[in-house]
């Protein structure tokens, strides 16, 4: 599954309306997902290092920019990870509104963070969302929605729904769409294991993008037929909409699916994100305590706890605001990765690349243009969002500048620089 799956897409319709929402859902993967997947496919196959994108940027552009890549990715992950417990609560409150009162939802979200952190530290293996059967189970309610909606064509034109609190506009809908199309990194890392990757990999990615786009577009197109107003949509409203179509059973199915999706995605990503401070600490650019591993499970427990504190602090920001700042910071790190792709093509033309972005040096440069243009919308949108009495853009710039400050402080304390490359301690898989 890519990012949050079909769950968490509701605000796209609220902000853009049905027609424009479907158009955005069809165009975004071509301009955003495929270029990113191809870039990661080449770099991960050429440089299969622990630390991933941080190691690629460091090799291409040196220690300073390598550290900035790690910093931006870590800070972006704080906001990205806070989105999943927020979605968990959004679906939970559709069945149990009691959790929406006061700070109860915040405590539930915090419980999700603590539970997943402890599971990862203990090394408990939870069923991955890449499981085919779990994917089918999570998708089943939306298959039912697509099947049932044609039988209620125009029937929901005057349907009474609970008032929404969403303030998402078309630009906010675009950013939520971009977030829902993030997450191609995992598929890209196996490019070296694919037979004839130059031909097979592009075809496989096109098929995968098509399947994901269909899973987003078809339920919206089906609901468009019912006449339900776009203003009835907000985060978590798939549950109420499913209830209008299929009754309480389908409503509960969507709620359970949304909660399982959010919990499972969060739990899986804890392991992924915690490896970044681990790798950076092993290279001497973060305090060595972040490299400590739990003796039995081999999990980086200090890194997990530190990140969990950050995730907990961001839980009250709300879904749309979290997505806006996440895309802004993630986009800055993504820009460095596209730069690393082009720089390595120029500096190391003979580097073995089992998978290669087509088009030579021009192709390596041109492939980064569409994602960077889309990120321009994130900059515009972030100037209107408020976080702690400042615009999201100003807040993001402060976080980006903090990476420069931290690097130079670290360099002043350790003028010898980065540790030499060495064999890393084995971590939990």
Q: What is the pLDDT of residue 199?
A: 65
The string of pLDDT tens digits covering residues 160-185 is 777 787 878 888 889 889 988 887 76
Low-confidence winner among 142-146, 156-160, 219-223, 326-330 (lowest mean pLDDT) = 156-160
Cβ-based neighbours of 408, under 8 Å, separated by 6 or more:
none
Closest Cα to residue 136, out of 6, 268, 3?
A: 6
Return the SS3 of 390: strand
Contacts (Cβ under 8 Å, ≥6 apart) of 247 = none
Look at residue 313 in the predicted model and tell me its pLDDT: 92
Indicate the Cα dihedral angle 145, 175, 13, 269, nearest 10°: 20
Q: Which two tokens stand for residue 394?
A: 């100003």
Render pLDDT for 372-393 as a digit per residue (tens, 0 to 9).
999 888 888 777 777 778 888 8
Closest to 259 measured CA to CA, from 137, 103, 174, 162? 137
Which SS3 state, helix, strand or coil, does residue 387 take?
Answer: strand
Rounded distance between C-alpha atoms, residue 268 and residue 100, angstroms: 26
Of 36-45, 101-110, 338-347, 398-407, least confident by mean pLDDT is: 36-45
How many residues are recorded in the chain? Answer: 429
The H or E element containing residue 386 is strand 386-387
Mean pLDDT score of the chain: 84
Tens of pLDDT, residue by residue over 118-160, are: 988 887 665 444 445 666 777 889 999 999 999 999 989 888 7
Sign of the CA dihedral running 280, 282, 288, 293:
positive
| Contact indicator for 317, 387 with CB cutoff of 8 Å | yes
Which residue has tokens 């798939």? 238
Contacting residues for 415 by C-beta, under 8 A, at least 6 apart: none
Distances (CA, A) of 84 to 172, 220, 247, 312, 408: 18, 22, 26, 11, 33
Q: Which element (helix H / strand E) includes 147?
A: helix 132-148
- Distance (Å) of CA 357 to CA 131, 146, 187, 201, 343: 29, 37, 15, 10, 14
Q: Kindly list the distances between the CA atom of residue 220 and the CA atoms of 10, 23, 306, 416, in Å, as whole numbers in the listed order.
A: 9, 11, 39, 56
Instruction: For residues 37-63, give the mean pLDDT.
Output: 84
pLDDT at 24 over 90: yes
* Whether the Cβ atoms of residue 57 and residue 66 lie closer than 8 Å to each other: yes
Q: Is the model's pLDDT at 21 over the cut of 90?
A: yes
Dihedral angle at the C-alpha atoms of 220, 225, 226, 229, nearest 10 degrees?
Answer: 60
pLDDT at 51: 63
Which one-letter DSSP state was computed for residue 126?
P
pLDDT at residue 185, rounded to an integer: 61
Distance of CA 30 to the CA centre of its chain: 17
Which segment, 44-48, 127-131, 239-243, is predicted with the most confidence on average? 239-243
Position 423 scores a pLDDT of 47
What does the pLDDT average to over 280-293?
80
The pLDDT > 70 percentage for the chain reads: 87
Please check the confidence at residue 422 and state whether its pLDDT lies above 70.
no
Question: 176 with 186: CB under 8 angstroms?
Answer: no
CB-side neighbour CA atoms (13 Å) of 262: 30
Average pLDDT over residues 233-262: 90
Closest by CA position to 203, among listed 38, 24, 354, 43? 38
Residue 364 and residue 296 in contact, taking contact as beta carbons nearer than 8 Å: no
């Amino acid at each position: 599954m890519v990012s949050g799956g079909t769950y968490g897409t509701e605000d796209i319709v609220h902000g853009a309306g049905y027609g424009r929402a479907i158009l955005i859902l069809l165009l975004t993967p071509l301009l955003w997902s495929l270029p990113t997947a191809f870039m990661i496919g080449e770099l991960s196959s050429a440089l299969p290092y622990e630390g991933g994108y941080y190691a690629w940027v460091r090799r291409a552009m040196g220690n300073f920019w390598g550290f900035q890549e790690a910093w931006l990715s870590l800070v972006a992950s704080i906001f990205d990870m806070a989105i999943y417990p927020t979605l968990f609560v959004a679906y939970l409150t559709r069945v149990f509104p009691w959790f929406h009162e006061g700070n109860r939802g915040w405590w539930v979200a915090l419980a999700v963070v603590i539970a997943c952190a402890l599971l990862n530290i203990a090394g408990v293996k939870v069923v991955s969302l890449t499981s085919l059967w779990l994917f089918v189970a999570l998708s089943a309610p939306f298959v039912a929605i697509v099947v049932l909606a044609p039988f209620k064509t125009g029937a929901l034109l005057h349907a009474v729904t609970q008032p929404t609190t969403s303030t998402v506009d078309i630009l906010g809908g675009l950013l939520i769409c971009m977030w829902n199309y993030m997450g191609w990194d995992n598929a890209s890392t196996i490019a070296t294991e694919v037979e004839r990757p130059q031909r097979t990999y592009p075809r496989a990615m096109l098929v995968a993008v098509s399947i994901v786009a269909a899973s987003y577009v078809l339920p919206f197109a089906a609901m468009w037929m019912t006449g339900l107003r776009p203003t009835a949509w907000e985060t978590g409203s798939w549950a109420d909409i499913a209830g209008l179509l299929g009754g309480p059973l389908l409503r509960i199915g969507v709620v359970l699916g949304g909660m399982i999706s959010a919990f499972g995605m969060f739990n899986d990503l804890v392991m992924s994100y915690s490896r970044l401070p681990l790798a950076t600490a092993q290279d001497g650019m973060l305090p060595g305590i972040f490299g400590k591993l739990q003796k039995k499970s081999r999990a980086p427990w200090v890194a997990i706890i530190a990140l969990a504190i950050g995730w907990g602090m961001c839980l009250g920001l709300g879904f749309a605001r979290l997505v806006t700042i996440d895309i802004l910071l993630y986009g800055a790190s993504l820009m460095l990765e596209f730069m690393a792709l082009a720089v390595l093509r120029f500096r190391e033309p003979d580097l073995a690349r089992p998978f290669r972005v087509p088009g030579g040096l021009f192709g390596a440069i041109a492939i980064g243009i569409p994602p960077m243009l889309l990120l321009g919308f994130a900059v515009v949108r972030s100037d209107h969002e408020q976080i702690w009495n400042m615009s999201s853009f100003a807040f993001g710039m402060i976080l980006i500048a903090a990476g420069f400050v931290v690097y130079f402080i670290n360099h002043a304390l350790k003028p010898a620089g980065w540790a030499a490359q060495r064999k890393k301690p084995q971590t939990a898989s």
